[in-house]
Amino acid sequence: MCNAINLTGFNLINCAAHTIQLAIHDAIDNNSQLQIILAKCRAIVGHFKRSNIDKAKLIEMQVKLEIIKHKLIQEVKMRWNSTYYMLERILEQRQPVSYVVCTIDTLESLLNDDWKLVEAVIEVLAPFEWATRILSGDKYSKLSLVIPLMANVLVKLRKIKSTHKEAESIRKELIKAVETRFDGLEKNKIVTNACLLDPRFKVSCFLKTENKNEAIKNLSDELSQVGLGSQIVNLENEIECEPRNKKMKQDDDFWEFVAEQQEEQQEK
């Protein structure tokens, strides 16, 4: 598909959600300890999907322990966030799952350190789950959101300081993977134009000053070519920092981040 688009001469913009998936696989696929835990989780979830008898035992234990009767979530290999949801749900159901798994000879239980890593990894992956959910929406345009979203993901990742050695290693690898995978994001004219022309963001969320300046220059040149050079306004003033979609109003921390970035730009 990518080759076909390139042959037409049109500009190709890689799917941001898919790029997130690639970045996450860069970080977690080579972590042997996490892969062992994921294999255990897949086996546990798969068993309860297949065995009605043990599924009934799990429900019975949920009732006894007064834990909400949620089903376990099966991982789908092509969707990284299904791995996140699988870990999140199995952590929620830790007590009833542990009790029942101990009675099944064919399953390997998660150890205490395994549970600690699961909890820490969920924290590290949470910013990506949020970004993927926003980028998967179908009720609003998303192109102008890509640069601010990924800038916010990096800020969130850098604030996390995990006490678990493996989780901290994964966090550092994720930062590296995002910076590598999204390296050309602030240099893609279509993406930068969308961000600059969105009154909520304009120049406020660029990570690199040189990329911001180049993006402004490129937009100015394009406007001049169609006789609108005199219409260029100051992109650093009068920013409208409000979500246009009701669902996005729930993500207050993102809009706080955008507001902070705007204040920094105005101080410079």
Do 197 and 262 sit in the same domain of this protein? yes
Query: Mean per-residue pLDDT for 50-70?
Result: 95
- Which of 74, 109, 136 is the last residue before a domain boundary? 136
- Which of 118, 136, 154 is the last residue before a domain boundary? 136
SS (H, E, C) 50-109: HCHHHHHHHHHHHHHCCCCCCCCCCCCCCCHHHHHHHHHHHHHCHHHHHHHHCCCCCCCC
Contact residues for 2 (Cβ-Cβ < 8 A; gap 6+): 12
Q: The tokens of 65 are what?
A: 């322990």
pLDDT score for 241: 44
Whether the per-residue pLDDT at 10 is higher than 60: the answer is: no
pLDDT digits (tens, 9 = 90+) for 179-231: 888 877 888 888 888 888 888 887 777 877 888 888 888 888 888 777 665 55
- Least confident segment among 46-50, 173-177, 231-235: 231-235
Residue listed under structure tokens 């602030």? 186
Do 93 and 192 sit in the same domain of this protein? no
pLDDT score for 119: 96
How far apart, in whole angstroms, are the C-alpha atoms of residue 141 and residue 134?
Answer: 10
- Which of 74, 103, 136 is the last residue before a domain boundary? 136
**Would you say 197 and 144 are in contact if contact means Cβ atoms under 8 Å apart?**
yes
pLDDT score for 240: 45
pLDDT score for 262: 62
Per the structure, the complete domain to which residue 50 belongs is given by 14-136
Report the chain's mean pLDDT, rounded to a whole number: 83
pLDDT digits (tens, 9 = 90+) for 77-132: 888 899 999 999 999 999 999 999 999 999 999 999 999 999 999 999 999 999 99
Give 36 or 236, the one with higher predicted confidence.
36
Do 41 and 120 sit in the same domain of this protein? yes
Share of the chain above pLDDT 90, in %: 44
Annotate the chain with DSSP letters as a single string: -HHHHHHHTPPP---HHHHHHHHHHHHHTT-HHHHHHHHHHHHHHHHHHH-HHHHHHHHHHHHHTT---PPP----TT-HHHHHHHHHHHHHTHHHHHHHHTT-TTSPPPPHHHHHHHHHHHHHHHHHHHHHHHHT-SSS--GGGHHHHHHHHHHHHHH---SSHHHHHHHHHHHHHHHHHTTTGGG-HHHHHHHHTSTTTTTTT-S-HHHHHHHHHHHHHHHHHTT-GGG---TTSS-----SSTGGGG-HHHHHHHHHHHHHHHH-
Whether the per-residue pLDDT at 234 is higher than 80: the answer is: no
Please report which confidence band the pLDDT of residue 238 belongs to, taking 50, 70 and 90 as the band edges. very low
Do 120 and 189 sit in the same domain of this protein? no
The 10 Å Cβ neighbour count of residue 66 is 7
In a domain, 128, yes or no: yes
Whether the per-residue pLDDT at 74 is higher than 50: the answer is: yes
Do 38 and 128 sit in the same domain of this protein? yes
Whether the per-residue pLDDT at 1 is higher than 60: the answer is: no
How far apart, in whole angstroms, are the C-alpha atoms of residue 21 and residue 31?
Answer: 16
Do 132 and 225 sit in the same domain of this protein? no
pLDDT score for 239: 42
